[in-house]
Amino acid sequence: MKNILITAGPVHAHLDAVKIITNRFRGGLIAELADQLLLKDAKVSYVCASHLGIKKPFSKPNLLIYEHSGIADYRRIVLELAPKMDAVVLGAAVANLIPLEPFRDKFPSHNFKPGDIIPINFTIAPRIIDEVKKVAPRAHLFGFKLLSNVKHEELIRAAYEVLLASGAGVVFANDTIRLMQKYAVTKERGVHPVMQQELAEWVWQMVNDEYYHTHLVDEQAISENAQSQIRNSMNQFSSKFKAVENGIVFGTIAIRHKSGFLTTGRGKRELDTLVNVLGVDHERREVVVAGLMKASLNAPLLAKIFENSEVDSIVHYHQQESGLPTLLYAPPGTARDTNRRNDISFNIKGHGCMLLFNKDGRRL
């Protein structure tokens, strides 16, 4: 049974001892998500406010409800529970405008008359999603980014910035004018349209994904010929490897090298480094790498493709090519992503393409 922390509904800030700053959402859609995950045999810890009218999941034996009394209490509960969880889904609508200096007791309205202007300084609240990975590095982290009546690219950019800052695996972006339509923004800046009723399956699959790990061994020399070959491929496809936010460049090139393969290193500028992959053990989910740097997250899939003896090199970039079969998305570096065909080039939905070449440079 997977332990999943879900937060929902408004998270308020205090203006004084009785007044709060909040928003109009009541957590109904996230309560539905929790209900669907409970049906999948998850154990759900559900965090919401104690106000009347807040939506909650239907009571079940594997449901625990924690009620918070405002943003500070919400933060405390989330960070205390997160290390015990397999996944953290932060769906609450946090009041990010909070009074800088709340009134200690009740606002002294008797000292003012109607029409008086009361200067109150507000500050932007700390983003709690940015703290989760610090206390729960192994938990799958899912966030939400809601904007109102903005251009699609602005919405995606805002969601991706949250993902980069927090280390989340997915941030679900949506607009107030289309609440049922979400977009799953992933680490490789994939954008996947997801309807509200599909959220639970997205979360459940990713919580159950099995990732490969890296085993580092003594560094081995990379031949000049191999380095030259992979650099030539980089130059040939240079127009396909474009920088996105913050100068991040996505893409991977791999060529056969001795008994393994040479590919690009893991990082925000993947094409800057080369890594010698000695082998991949699919049964143990282990990537064996020579040196001190991890290979691209795509390394398990590259190894699976190289099991086809006709494949001599592979080029992966984040555009889809027409005329190729398109396979379903799965996060790079997972068993779900690795078990794909290796006989012809293909697209991965919402991610990019994998182009396979033989020794003569002909695309398979």
Residue 325: the pLDDT is 95
> Contact 347/325 with Cβ under 8 angstroms?
yes
pLDDT by residue (tens digit) across 297-336? 899 999 999 999 999 999 998 888 999 999 999 999 999 9
Confidence of residue 37 (pLDDT cuts 50, 70, 90): very high
Taken in order of first residue, the domains within the chain and their CATH numbers are 3-207 (3.40.50.10300), 213-357 (3.40.225.10)
Secondary structure, 3-state, 229-278? HHHHHHHHCHHHCCECHHHCECCEEEEEECCEEEEEECCCEHHHCEEEEE
pLDDT by residue (tens digit) across 251-281? 888 998 877 888 888 765 556 678 889 889 9
Cβ neighbours of 48 (radius 10 Å) = 27
**How many residues comprise the chain?**
364
* DSSP one-letter string for 326-348: EEPP--TTBHHHHS---SS-EEE
The candidate with the shortest Cα–Cα distance to 186, out of 208, 204, 210, 202, is: 202
